[in-house]
Amino acid sequence: MRTLETLQFDNTYARLPESFYARVMPTPLPNPSLIHFNSDAAALIDLDSDEAKRPEFAACFGGSLLLPGADPVSMLYYGHQFGVYAGQLGDGRAILLGEVRNGHGDKWDLHLKGAGRTPFSRDGDGRAVLRSTIREYLCGEAMQGLGIPTTRSLCIVGSDEPVFRESVETGATLLRMAPTHVRFGSFEAFFYRRQHDHIARLTDYVIAQCFPHLAGVTDTYSRMFTEVAVRTAHLIAQWQAVGFAHGVMNSDNMSILGLTLDYGPYGFLDEYNPGFVCNHSDRQGRYAFHHQPDIGYFNLRCLAQALSPFLIQDQAQDALARYEAAFAERYDALMREKLGLREAGPEDRALVGELLNLLQAGRVDYTNFFRALGGFQQGAGEHNDALRDFFLDREAFDAWAGRYRERLSAEGSRDGERRARMDRVNPKYVLRNYLAQTAIEQATKQRDYSEITRLLELLRDPFTEVSGREPYAAPPPEGGKQIVVSCSS
């Protein structure tokens, strides 16, 4: 295991031309203190967990102390925000400290969020607040537990420094980790600057770092774009199946690796509502839950445009068509798994669609219903009262249940075996907004970080029911339904 001093930093991104980034040093948090440490993330870079006990740890990741070999830069990118070209953006409050490779050769960017102003801050203060860092810290691990590709977080470092948002809050930093932080908007920057040589340079860099199997093959750039399209399709299919709304799917928030990136105003569905908008700033509902697959397509078109100097139009169209097919294929497969079906059938989409309509009409809790569906009994005399009670219109559910029973019977499904499979894909726990808010309030008002620990323990394995943790699976209380999150979250 490694110490802080032996992490062996590198920064391949900083060896690109200086027009790709700005060199900048973190602005230290005054009197930094460790709020929380993620031992699972530390293991990804072979960091000894005991290092978090050292006073130097908070200094390193609060911006006061630069580790040997670190080469800090803030990354340039452009983007489309809420469907409108926004021009230059870039890391206004985050600094890429460098990269660390673990003993298996896996590369991890160490990206410090809330590290102060950079040339891309656009009059912002470059800070993050404790509230938003807790939200990202928790949700990255929640997504990891669900098996959804995501960035990770090593730690939160806090301070009493006042930071002004809707109200005065305290500052914090988050050490975010990912194999790369290159975004769709990274390519857009050089397209709109008409720096085609830089597009090629960035594409070659991404292929070498992230898609080495494509190096030297025919049509390398189009093959990379196709892989990005498929990864993005699979990611969004997983979001839709688990009931996750990202909230701000701007093209600059889209990872070239198909990772869930930039956790701000996200939300998991409580009552099933396909039009769910989790972002208070999204007044037009552009990023509503049911729009996410189409927004993924839009963002891929932005990326295709950025790569257009090197893509043949037919190749780009083929990749976009592959996105649509890959999304449908993966989403259908995931929903079959949620229903406990082992084989594909021609009626499956209708069966899923009818169920979702029932959930919407009955304002049924999405996560809890699918978890309970594992207990469906196929026997002719079984009425499945516990499931019927989710619905006001029980007769409508009975009609659907009859078709579901026939579908299960057609493939010889056995109740016990099916339930075991369904419990491995239908989570018992998700990071509902009111749960995150409880942890935030205890941390910000009482300096009590124990709720962060409890949530992480549950969310790392959200499929296993834990005795005594029943409240964490409950729908939100009435006040918990009114929590507002915005881009500042």
Both structure tokens of 327: 């999304």
Rounded-to-integer distance, Cα 229 and Cα 323, Å: 5
Looking up tokens 């953006």 gives 89
Residues 192 and 10 sit within 8 Å (Cβ to Cβ): no
Tell me whether residue 76 is exposed, middle or buried, using C-beta atoms within 10 angstroms of its C-beta: 0 to 12, 13 to 18, 19 or more.
buried
Residues 137 and 61 sit within 8 Å (Cβ to Cβ): no
Separation in Å, CA 211 to CA 158, 203, 258, 404, 431 = 36, 10, 12, 42, 32
- CA dihedral sign of residues 383, 385, 387, 390: positive
- CA dihedral sign of residues 24, 6, 260, 258: positive
List of long-range contacts for 292-297, beta carbons under 8 Å, 24+ apart: 292/236, 292/239, 292/240, 292/245, 292/246, 292/249, 293/236, 293/237, 293/240, 293/327, 293/331, 295/249, 296/232, 296/233, 296/235, 296/236, 296/249, 296/254, 296/323, 296/327, 297/323, 297/324
Rounded-to-integer distance, Cα 424 and Cα 426, Å: 6
Residue 71 annotated among the catalytic residues of the structure = no
Rounded-to-integer distance, Cα 21 and Cα 483, Å: 37
Tell me whether residue 454 is exposed, middle or buried, using C-beta atoms within 10 angstroms of its C-beta: 0 to 12, 13 to 18, 19 or more.
middle
- CA dihedral sign of residues 381, 385, 391, 394: positive
> How many Cβ atoms are within 10 Å of 120's Cβ, its own excluded?
21
Both structure tokens of 252: 């600059």
Residue 380 makes CB contacts below 8 A (sequence gap 6+) with none
Catalytic residue, from 252, 262, 270, 365: name it. Answer: 252
Nearest Cα residue to 146 out of 424, 369, 366: 424
Rounded-to-integer distance, Cα 429 and Cα 368, Å: 9
Ramachandran sector of residue 262 (left: φ over 0; alpha: ψ -120 to 50; beta: rest): left
Return the bridge partners of 152, or none.
Answer: 177
Residues 100 and 9 sit within 8 Å (Cβ to Cβ): yes
Q: Provide the 8-state DSSP code for 93.
A: S
Tell me if residue 107 falls in helix, strand or coil: strand
Just list the catalytic residues: 252
